[in-house]
Amino acid sequence: MDIRQAAKYPFLKDSAKVLRDRGIDLDHLVKGLAFESARLQGMERVLEIIENPIIETKTTAKEPDALKELLSYPVARMIVSAVADPKLVNRYAIAEAKTASRRLEQEEVEFVLAVARELGIEASQVDDGFAVEFTDFLTFSSKMRSKDWKLVNQKLLKGKVIVQKRDLVRLVQQAVADKISSELPLPVNDEILDAFSEQIAEVKGILEEERKNRPAEDMGRLSIVRLPPCMKKLLQMTRESQNVPHSGRFALVAFLHTLGMDSEEILRTFSTSPDFDEGKSRYQIQHISGEISGTEYTPPECSTMKSYGICFDPDNLCRQEWMTHPLKYYRAKGRRRPSGK
């Protein structure tokens, strides 16, 4: 693989091989004076994903620039791993995946198919798009929030799902995010911790300042401690930019709306997510709350939550025979002592 292409897709096996073929190992990268600029760019890569949900493209026309860009990827992974913050890992994985997706949209079909196959998506070109193996489609679309990804809305041909290039790229984006998040945090030794001590401290400081300024527990009139486990989990997933299924987002918005939060308050609750899209979120919230649709939706009952796979960590109160709805849980908790279950 050409080094310029490797720099654009550093998570591929051939990209790692480019570095091995050049004799660049971990010791060189961590301590070598010749790689100081790569270490600085790796830190920039981490800082960038804290501010934005995507990594800005660096110039890689010249080979030295491409090498520096390629090396910044393992450096960033080391720093993220050393910080060891699950939210940062998730944000980093999403940012790398979105960056790769944006670049793949400009690539030739053969290259996109090769990347897809390496990441576990068997796909081939057909007359009206791309045929993706049924199980692969389900695996990588299961976390998609939009109803457009529901299997009932797909075209099937001989046990395969037919998609367009943009959809195939979106599946690859999810595969990249899954790959990176499953690999991190990497084990880091004292040598790495010492080499990047200043960078680690800086990133931790930024994240701590973020936490102080984030209204994470501010839900107006609502009580965090009274939320049922399912809603606590969905709220946590939303704020940490984890992939929440459409059914989960619907349940959470309907729950908060029913308990008296207006659309702007709910929007602020969602706004701390790194991939927050104000326009889309506002529309969805206003639709569920009835401002657009004319119908005020209520959250699903517990049996429906279970069937959707969004009933998380039920506690003793959840297991009571009469406990049939998340709203019942919230109200029952209000009648009990704070320590009661």
For the stretch 93-109, pLDDT in tens is: 989 998 999 999 999 99
Residue with more model confidence, 199 or 240 = 199
Torsions phi, psi for 126 (to 5 deg): -130, 180
Domain tally, the chain: 3
Poorest-pLDDT segment among 37-51, 84-98, 214-228: 214-228
How far apart, in Å, are the Cα atoms of 105 and each of 55, 82, 108, 118? 15, 32, 8, 17
Q: What is the DSSP string of 273-341?
A: STT--HHHHHHHHHHHTTTTTS----PPPHHHHHHTT---S--TTTTSTT---HHHHHHHHHHS-TT--
Residue type present at position 72 = S
Count of helices and strands (H, E) across the chain: 17, 4
For residue 217, is it within any domain?
no
Confidence check: pLDDT of 116 > 80 = yes
Looking at the structure, tell me whether residues 65 and 151 fall in a common domain: no
At 211 the pLDDT is 72
Mean pLDDT calculated for residue range 73-91: 93
286: domain range?
A: 224-335
Do 54 and 131 lie in one domain? The reply is: no
The answer as to whether 233 is a domain residue is: yes
Pick the closest to residue 144 from 288, 246, 230 (CA basis).
246
Are 140 and 160 in the same domain?
Answer: yes
In a domain, 213, yes or no: no
pLDDT at residue 338 in the model: 44
Within a domain: 149: yes
Residues 296/264, Cβ–Cβ less than 8 Å: no
Classify residue 216: in a domain, yes or no.
no
Number of residues in the chain: 341
DSSP letters spanning 207-235: HHHHHHHS-TT--TT--GGGS-HHHHHHH
**Same-domain pairing of 119 and 261:** no
Q: 325: how many CB neighbours lie within 10 A of its CB?
A: 19
Q: Is residue 215 part of a domain?
A: no
Co-location of 235 and 163 in the same domain:
no
Which amino acid belongs to residue 280?
A: K
Do 147 and 35 share a structural domain? no
pLDDT digits (tens, 9 = 90+) for 260-298: 888 888 888 777 665 567 888 888 898 898 888 778 888
Which of 309, 237, 247, 246 has its CA nearest to residue 275? Answer: 237
The reply to whether 238 falls in a domain is yes
Is the previous residue joined to 229 through a cis bond, with omega within 30 degrees of 0?
no
Per-residue pLDDT band at 54 (split at 50, 70, 90): confident
Residue 234 and residue 329 in one domain: yes
Structure tokens at 151: 């299997």
Overall average pLDDT of the 134-138 stretch: 95
The answer to whether residue 269 sits within a structural domain is: yes
